[in-house]
Structure 1
Amino acid sequence: MAEASKGEELVTTSQAAKILGIDRTTLGRYARDGLLRPTIVLPSGHLRWSLDDLRRQMRELRERGTNEEE
């Protein structure tokens, strides 16, 4: 697997989705729609994710959604 600059292991979209308990197509759609940013996009178009960064982005996404509803 690829590694982030800090030595953190990067995971595939399927692996990240499984760890987070969401469907991989949902994670892919969020990335395609610009709601989440993968750590790396490979030349093949495949995405790689830092789990720490992804969790932070998802937390911020939820917070934005909550704030917009108020």
Structure 2
Amino acid sequence: MTTLLKVEQLISEDSKNIISRNLSRILDLKILDIDVINKTISLVYNNPFVLDKAKKELGRVGYSLQTQDSL
């Protein structure tokens, strides 16, 4: 499954690097793109539990989600 997450606090390359570093630790999750201009993260995952882990990890490092769209 593919999803697009909107993260309002995604404002710089530093934010992008922090998100990339933390999400890359989650097994079975692939980061397709982190777009600083549109403040979005595109992810691919096989299990909804993996997406929940990604959301929790983003919250843990200080990034709250605004919307979520499945692609």
Q: TM-score range by the shorter chain?
A: 0.3 to 0.5
Give the structure-1-normalised TM-score.
0.32
Give the structure-2-normalised TM-score.
0.32
Bigger relative contact order (CA 8 A; separation at least 6): 2
Structure number, greater radius of gyration: 1
